[in-house]
Amino acid sequence: MHWLLTRGRFPFLALLLAATAFLALHAAQLGVETNNESLSASNPERDAIYDRFRATFGSDEDLLLAVVHPLLLETAGLRFIADLHGRIARIDGVRGVYDLTNAQQLVSGDGGAELAPLLPNPPSDSAMLRATLDRNPDLTGLFVSRDRRSAGVLIEIEDRPSDRHYRAAIIDALRALVATESRDGIALHLTGIAVQKHDVSAFIERDQRWLVPLAVVVLGFVLAAFFRSVLGVLLPLAVTGVTVAWTLGAYQLAGLELNAITSLLPPVLMVLSLAVSVHVIQVWIDSAATGDRVTRLLHVVRDVRFACFFCSLTTALGLASLLTSNMPAVRYFGAFAALGVLVSFAVGITLVPVGLSFLEVPASAQRSAQHRGMRRVLAWSARIATQAPLRVPALFAAITALSIAALPRLANNTDLVRFLKSDAPLHRDTLFIDQHLTGASALDFVVSRRDDAALTSKDDIARLANFERSILAHEEVTGATSILAVLRQLQRAESGGEALVLPPDERSTAYAFDLLEATPEQPLLRKVIAGDFTTARVNVRIHSVGTAIAAPLAETILAEGRTHFGDAYRVEATGSFYRVAHDSNQLVASQLRSFGLALAMVVAVIGALFRSIRLTAIAMVPNVMPILWTGGLMAVLGIDLSTGTAMIASAVIGIVVDDTIHYLTDYRRNYRGDARDAVRRTTNGVGVPLLINNVALVLGFWVGCFGSFKPTIYFSLLTGLTMITALVCDLFVTPALLVLSDRPRASVA
Amino acid sequence: MKALRIAALLLLSIAAAARADDALLDIRNDALVKRAFVPSPAQKVGEVRIVERGDAKVVQTLLYTKILARVVGEIRNKEAINWPPDAPGHADAQRYREALVQVQTQIWDRMPRGESVQDRRQKMWIEFVLGPQRALVAIGAFEMEETGSEVKVVKREALDVFEASRDYVERNMRLIEADAFRADGETK
């Protein structure tokens, strides 16, 4: 260290600069994930089902454009849709466009069922059109709303795995159409999984552009306010910059891209990397002005290194516990945030002393108004904790009990659409389509026989019909599409009747499938049944609900399907939305596991540091309490557990315990046989950097409140809040417990 | 007595006609001239055969398809187009169209209604027979043996046979041949 603070300063700075420049270059090339793939938990069995589903039925990521037109079923309205159809079909990457103007129906012909356009061209009178639509109820909800005021345009996009940009180009082109054509009472609304992915990527890029500079500004202000010196601002910010550059550079070198969760890495790392710098600078300011600069700095480093190392270790371990999550995005966040914290310790404990080695120790900054105010607050808290050591923990325990009582109300819910703010186009459009046309979310169920035979018998179809009936009985379900709709139309056209019924016997059922086998419309048919008829798809459209409703609904429908079909069949749930719902189901268990691990690791580290069961037990109380409070607060405010908010406990335990470690380390140093006296000294001593660090941390985290996604906003808000309550616990509960548990003796220091 | 003689003559003429029909529909000595799968070898619903049967020329269509009603519907559509109401031969075409539906329905009705069948193909044969004296249209059901792409009729049953005008039969034979062998039927 001595070498580093003398002759080694310039080589060290040069090396650091070179490494930072190299990694910053990579960090600058960091891309944004365009398919949200890392937000889906890896589950080989479920993924295999989804892959088979896509191979059989194609992509389930069709786009839906709703068209509201004042004269929808008049010539003007239909011409508008036809024109729109042509323009959409010409967009590169669009495979097919389906709407009222090209929809077909099965009618009775000379040789039985024949395909005929749904609507005559040119359009005839609207009464006839309405009658045609009434005769084909399967189209209501998909191509036209129940009130006949909105039409749906289904847009099938190509699957180009190697092309990362075509989807964005399609959506941009469609959004441009929406913007130019929405006028004179005409409104267009666009939704779909691909739009969600596109918008999430765009918002991540937007957040990166705004949140990182905002975090720099906020942290700069906080540091300037507390340290009142240029170097007091620049040194911590330099540590922050190096940490972010190194971590994001490593992230890019690992071949990863930013997603909705890891987009939080830069602001979170900026905040977390401050602690070491703040402690080093504050101790340097507080240190007695004796000895030369280097000696003083060596004392400062010696004073803070263990506490800072253990604090960094616990923070890193807390974050690393997220590695147990089955969601890649959460794992990446945990791993790289932990790495960043360790980097920030290494850089902070070297760069800051090196930087300070160029300066004289300033006249004490503690004379500033800020520090006087802080010391008054700290003195007050020490007085309360020492004078009422029983009442303080009792009061806090009562709040904790209330929080625990509220915890069962905490809902586990992920709602991709409502993750966005209510003025986001996707949020607005999706809810419009959901209310006026059809359910904006879809669950898919795949049925096949265990003997791999074709599903063409009357019994197969009867079971499918029973399944469909039970699906439609759920109030969240707005419609179900399967081969049944085709068979009903076929039977009506073959029999020349009017009723939409299924083929009545084995022979007619087999004949219907024989006709389907020969139909030229195979691509459309392939969306509901496999080419060899061995696998059938039931696409269930449901209202735009969160996974708290969708996940149990999917499981219920799956169970019903298995009951209707029996052991001779396989019934599986799949689809993009099902994966999200399924992941959400496992989220709480996954995060409880992660939190348990984080807690155990933190306990082990504190135990190793203090080698005292008493201090380890005391250390846990002010750290678990605020997490329970936050959980209770979320339950009371109706904030759901989701991908972002479920990370809070695991991420925050390692951070908030730092205050306790610093407090207890200082307490042991100050203890001379009188706990009350030691508490007063400790609170007044270590309290200042704790307050500074916490204010910086909280404000830094709250920068995330300006993000685009509610889970990240809640994560930032609630993590900051938890830090405040944790500091309150550290300044009141920890000293009170120390006083209560004190067995006076000469000294433990 | 006179009436009895007339009746006997009538019966004799009917028997003679039946014998003549039998001869025209007797496939034992058929000589296959050429054949083609319809509508194509890849998506065949049957085949068209040009056959010499003694002095008679025969265009034989063997349909073996699961969607016989659909195929019959298409044949009926073509008949309607080729023999519009004001065209000579329309009455024969009309008779043929009705016979097609009737026979197809009989074949369909013979299929078991409530159980699944391994080979669901419905087999129908149609012949346009142009003999030296008479021109016939015959439609029926058959059973077959398959060896690769070769189809051998092992049993057949005529379900409707009627005499039609030579012009109608001749032109229809030309049209079917042209359609199956991808030539212009009207210029031949």
State pLDDT tens for residues A54-64. 899 988 888 99
Averaged pLDDT for residues B126-130: 96
Q: What is residue B184's predicted lDDT score, i.e. its pLDDT?
A: 52
B71 touches chain A (CB under 8 A): yes
Strand A94-98 relative to strand A150-157: parallel, antiparallel, unpaired? antiparallel
Which residue, among A702, A718, A613, has the nearest Cα to A222 in the 3D structure? A702
Cβ distance of B114 and A457 shorter than 8 Å: no
Cβ distance of A111 and B73 shorter than 8 Å: yes
B77 touches chain A (CB under 8 A): yes
pLDDT band at A746 (very low <50, low <70, confident <90, very high): very low
| Residue A271, H or E segment | helix A265-272
Chain A residue with the nearest C-alpha to that of B71: A111
Q: What is residue A7's predicted lDDT score, i.e. its pLDDT?
A: 83
- Give me the amino acid identity at B13: S
Q: What is residue B104's predicted lDDT score, i.e. its pLDDT?
A: 95
Q: Who wins on pLDDT, A266 or A467?
A: A467
Which residue, among B24, B14, B11, has the nearest Cα to B134 in the 3D structure? B24
Averaged pLDDT for residues B137-164: 93
Alpha helix stretches (DSSP H) within chain B: 2-24, 68-82, 90-110, 166-181
Residues of B with CB below 8 A from A110's CB?
Answer: 73, 76-77, 80
Which residue, among A495, A488, A492, has the nearest Cα to A461 in the 3D structure? A488
Averaged pLDDT for residues B16-21: 58
Q: What is residue A749's predicted lDDT score, i.e. its pLDDT?
A: 38
Phi-psi bin for A602: left (phi > 0), alpha (psi -120 to 50), beta? alpha
pLDDT band at B78 (very low <50, low <70, confident <90, very high): very high
d(CA A555, CA A578): 10
Cβ distance of A515 and B113 shorter than 8 Å: no
Name the range with the highest mean pLDDT among A179-188, A212-221, A560-569, A658-667: A560-569
B105 touches chain A (CB under 8 A): no
Residues of A with CB below 8 A from B71's CB?
Answer: 111
Q: Which of B70, B71, B113 sits opposite A507 (nearest CB)?
A: B113
A vs B: CB pairs below 8 A:
47
What A670-677 contacts at long range (C-beta under 8 Å, 24+ apart), as own/partner pairs, is A670/A749, A671/A747, A671/A748, A671/A749, A672/A746, A672/A747, A672/A749, A673/A744, A673/A745, A673/A746, A673/A747, A674/A744, A675/A386, A675/A738, A675/A739, A675/A742, A675/A744, A676/A386, A676/A739
Cβ distance of B66 and A517 shorter than 8 Å: yes
What the block records as the tokens of A153 is 């345009």
Q: How far is B80 from chain A (nearest CA, A)?
A: 10
B35 touches chain A (CB under 8 A): no
Chain B residue with the nearest C-alpha to that of A516: B67
Which of A458, A509, A511 to mutate against chain B (most B CBs within 10 Å)? A511
Residues of B with CB below 8 A from A518's CB?
Answer: 43, 66-67, 70
Tell me the pLDDT tens digit for each residue of A600-645: 888 888 888 888 899 899 988 888 999 999 999 999 998 888 877 8
Averaged pLDDT for residues A553-579: 94
Averaged pLDDT for residues A538-557: 91
Percentages helix, strand, coil for chain A (3-state, rounded to 5) are 65, 10, 25
Q: What is residue A748's predicted lDDT score, i.e. its pLDDT?
A: 43
Interface of B with A in 139-168 (CB under 8 A): none
A514 touches chain B (CB under 8 A): yes
B97 touches chain A (CB under 8 A): no
Q: What is residue B42's predicted lDDT score, i.e. its pLDDT?
A: 81
Residues of A with CB below 8 A from B72's CB?
Answer: 111
Cβ distance of A511 and B112 shorter than 8 Å: no
Which of B96, B97, B116 to mutate against chain A (most A CBs within 10 Å)? B116
Cβ distance of B113 and A111 shorter than 8 Å: no
Q: Which of A111, A457, A505 sits opposite B70 (nearest CB)?
A: A111
Tell me the pLDDT tens digit for each residue of A681-716: 999 888 888 888 888 889 888 988 888 888 788 888
Q: Who wins on pLDDT, B166 or A304?
A: B166
Asked if pLDDT for residue A249 goes beyond 90, the answer is: yes
Chain A residue with the nearest C-alpha to that of B44: A518
| Cα angle: A180, vertex A186, A191; to 5 degrees | 75
B110 touches chain A (CB under 8 A): no
Which residue, among A663, A661, A662, A591, has the nearest Cα to A627 in the 3D structure? A591
Q: How far is B17 from chain A (nearest CA, A)?
A: 33
Which residue, among A124, A122, A78, A84, has the nearest Cα to A101 in the 3D structure? A78
Q: Who wins on pLDDT, B2 or A14?
A: A14
Chain A residue with the nearest C-alpha to that of B98: A110
Strands, E assignment, A55-162: 63-68, 94-98, 104-109, 112-117, 150-157
d(CA B103, CA B126): 10
Averaged pLDDT for residues B153-170: 95
Cβ distance of B67 and A109 shorter than 8 Å: no
Q: What is residue A747's predicted lDDT score, i.e. its pLDDT?
A: 44
Q: Who wins on pLDDT, A123 or A658?
A: A658
Q: How many helices (H) and strands (E) does chain B have?
A: 4, 6
Asked if pLDDT for residue A468 goes beyond 70, the answer is: yes
d(CA A330, CA B180): 65
User: In a 3-state reduction of DSSP, which class is residue A327?
Assistant: coil
pLDDT band at B187 (very low <50, low <70, confident <90, very high): very low
Indicate the range of A66-70, A469-473, B3-7 predicted with least confidence: B3-7
ipTM for the complex shown: 0.79
Cβ distance of A457 and B69 shorter than 8 Å: no
User: Phi and psi of A455, rounded to 5°?
Assistant: -90, 60
Indicate the range of A20-24, A362-366, A446-450, B23-27 predicted with least confidence: A362-366
User: Is the separation of the CB atoms in A515 and A490 below 8 Å?
Assistant: yes
Helix crossing, A328-356 with A274-286: angle to 10°?
20
What the block records as the tokens of A221 is 């202000």
A504 touches chain B (CB under 8 A): no
Bridge partners (DSSP) listed for residue A146: none
Tokens 């004179």, residue located: A184
Read off the pTM: 0.78
Asked if pLDDT for residue B10 goes beyond 60, the answer is: no
- The answer for residues whose C-beta is within 8 angstroms of residue A468's C-beta and 6 or more apart is A480, A482, A484, A538
Q: How far is A484 from chain B (nearest CA, A)?
A: 19
Q: Which of A110, A506, A514 sits opposite B66 (nearest CB)?
A: A514
Q: How far is B108 from chain A (nearest CA, A)?
A: 9
Tell me the pLDDT tens digit for each residue of A558-569: 999 999 999 999
For A39, A65, A78, A429, the CA distances from A188, given in Å and listed in that order, are 29, 7, 14, 8
A672 touches chain B (CB under 8 A): no
Residues of A with CB below 8 A from B116's CB?
Answer: 457, 506, 510
A505 touches chain B (CB under 8 A): yes
Residues of B with CB below 8 A from A515's CB?
Answer: 67, 70
Residues of A with CB below 8 A from B100's CB?
Answer: none
B98 touches chain A (CB under 8 A): no
Cβ distance of A514 and B112 shorter than 8 Å: no
End-to-end CA distance of chain B: 53
